């Protein structure tokens, strides 16, 4: 009996039934070794984005932001674009904007003050972009006409002050290249991207895109996508922009012709006037035209206005015969035209090309934001206006302001000549005249800041 009750501890444990808790305790070391790597693997998996978020441009929330400041001559405007990215593509949701005056060029003598003048706009961006997204959100400051007119040293001083101010005071992403002066070609390139984005034409072949021609007061721009072969044959790399959108990189031909907008064009045409007057002005009109610091005589020809004679003078002012280094592929003023491939099969025209369409009755609905036409219709409208004297023009086109009515024959002849004799678009080719683009039920202007944002995020 005594021998049975005096077994060693080890023997005693072997004869007793263990509880579940005791077994866990006895194997705790092994369990610990197994559990640690499992926990680590779980933490790693938990921190990884879900499969659908891998295409969300790095944003777990499926939202991306871009801040673009358009620093113009009279004021600056900030655009804070919000894009949803859940589908793997950029979908514009909102464009919050705020503007202020004066422009950066007003602070030519104080670069620091110029930079600080942007504070309300940058603070607006801080309020709009969530704090956790700010370090991942790019800010671009693009100066346009105003800074172009300043001496190079003053403009560079302002740009450097803006870069320093952004870096020292705001958490946004901003490289040195994010603050710069935008020239006319840059604006044309980004406007092309905006237009094709709003139309839903990005992501496909070059032939799916449309060409953009914008005629302002001082310059006219043309932009359209070209294939790689055409891009490689450009006489200068300055003609081709590489732009990103819709998951693709496009080679885009862009040419901005400074001095060939509609107001500058009037001056160029009037400078070619003969002593006996001008065929582009209606009989009975005599006055002066001011542009670029010049006062030009504007007097009708004794025979009155004539479309054919006016168009010939306009064509001469455009310098359509000036060589560009590519025989048979020149547009005007010594510029290469890009060859007009499939990216120019569909052409959209805007600004004064739309306005003069409204003034002359080509656009028959004054509330329309787009209208399908042909260049030949500018010719027909010009021929009609040019057949009238000054008083008849005023009576027939009462909605044209007295300031512009005497120049309506010239303006329409100019629009036609730029399109057909300058850019080499066929008279009968369809062109779409646009004021705005409808996008998600809203009417939006195809301005360059949206294109800049898309390019930076794509």
Q: Which residues are part of a known binding site for ATP?
A: 217-221
Alpha carbon 408 to its chain's center: 29
- Helix or strand or coil: residue 145? helix
| Cis ω before 102 (30° cut-off from 0) | yes
Q: Nearest to residue 300, comparing CAs of 212, 415, 407?
A: 407
Of 91, 116, 168, 187, the active-site residue reads: 187
Phi, psi for 55 (deg, rounded to 5) = -105, 15
- Pick out the residues of the known binding site: 217-221
Neighbours of 434 (CB within 10 A): 24
How far apart CA 359 and CA 400 sit, in angstroms, is: 6
DSSP symbol at 297: E
Question: For residue 431, what are the β-bridge partners?
Answer: 347, 373
Q: Nearest to residue 251, comparing CAs of 226, 276, 274, 275?
A: 226
Q: Where are any strands of DSSP class E within 218-276?
A: 219-226, 240-245, 248-258
Q: Would you say how long the chain is, in residues?
A: 458
Q: Nearest to residue 64, comparing CAs of 152, 112, 129?
A: 129
Hey, what are 67's tokens? 């801040």
- Helix or strand or coil: residue 1? coil
Hey, what are 53's tokens? 């978020």
Hey, what are 219's tokens? 């310059």
The answer to whether the beta carbons of residues 194 and 447 sit under 8 Å apart is yes
Rounded (10°) angle between helices 184-199 and 448-457: 80
Q: Nearest to residue 186, comparing CAs of 420, 455, 415?
A: 455
Q: Nearest to residue 438, comparing CAs of 191, 203, 197, 199?
A: 199
The residue behind tokens 């010049």 is 294
The answer to whether the beta carbons of residues 207 and 343 sit under 8 Å apart is yes
Rounded (10°) angle between helices 375-386 and 352-360: 50
Residue 109 catalytic?
no
How far apart CA 379 and CA 306 sit, in angstroms, is: 12
**Which residues participate in catalysis according to the annotation?**
187
């Amino acid at each position: 009996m005594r021998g049975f009750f005096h077994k060693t501890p080890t023997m005693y444990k072997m004869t007793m039934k263990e509880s579940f808790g005791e077994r866990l305790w006895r194997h705790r070391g092994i369990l610990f070794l197994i559990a640690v790597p499992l926990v680590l693997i779980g933490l790693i998996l938990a921190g990884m984005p879900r499969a659908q978020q891998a295409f969300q441009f790095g944003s777990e929330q499926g939202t991306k932001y871009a801040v673009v400041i358009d620093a113009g001559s009279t004021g600056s405007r900030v655009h804070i674009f919000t894009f949803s990215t859940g589908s793997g593509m950029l979908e514009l949701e909102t464009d919050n904007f705020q503007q202020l005056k004066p422009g950066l060029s007003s602070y030519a003598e104080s670069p620091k003050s110029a930079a600080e003048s942007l504070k309300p706009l940058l603070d607006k961006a801080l309020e709009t972009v969530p704090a956790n997204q700010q370090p991942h959100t790019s800010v671009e400051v693009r100066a346009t006409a105003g800074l172009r007119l300043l001496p190079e040293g003053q403009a560079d001083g302002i740009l450097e002050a803006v870069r320093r101010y952004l870096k020292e005071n705001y958490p946004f992403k901003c490289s040195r290249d994010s603050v710069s002066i935008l020239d006319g070609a840059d604006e044309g390139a980004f406007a092309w991207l905006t237009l094709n984005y709003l139309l839903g034409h990005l992501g496909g072949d070059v032939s799916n895109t449309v060409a953009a021609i914008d005629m302002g007061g001082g310059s006219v721009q043309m932009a359209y996508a070209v294939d790689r072969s055409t891009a490689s044959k450009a006489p200068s790399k300055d003609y081709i922009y590489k732009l990103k959108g819709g998951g693709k990189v496009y080679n885009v031909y862009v040419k901005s012709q400074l001095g060939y907008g509609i107001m500058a064009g009037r001056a160029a045409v009037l400078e070619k006037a003969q002593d006996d007057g001008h065929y582009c002005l209606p009989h009975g009109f005599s006055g002066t035209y001011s542009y670029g610091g010049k006062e030009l005589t504007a007097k009708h020809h004794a025979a009155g206005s004539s479309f054919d004679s006016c168009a010939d003078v306009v064509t001469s002012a455009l310098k359509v015969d000036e060589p560009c280094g590519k025989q048979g592929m020149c547009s005007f003023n010594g510029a290469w035209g890009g060859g007009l491939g499939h990216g120019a099969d569909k052409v959209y025209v805007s600004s004064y090309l739309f306005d003069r369409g409204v003034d002359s009755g080509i656009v028959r609905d004054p509330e329309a934001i787009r209208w399908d036409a042909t260049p030949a219709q500018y010719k027909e409208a010009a021929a009609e206006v040019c057949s009238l004297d000054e008083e008849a023009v005023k009576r027939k086109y009462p909605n044209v302001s007295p300031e512009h009515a005497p120049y309506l024959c010239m303006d329409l002849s100019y629009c036609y000549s730029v399109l057909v004799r300058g850019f080499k678009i066929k008279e009968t080719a369809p062109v779409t005249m646009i004021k705005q683009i409808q996008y998600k039920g809203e009417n939006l202007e195809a301005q360059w800041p949206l294109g800049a944002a898309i390019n930076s995020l794509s």
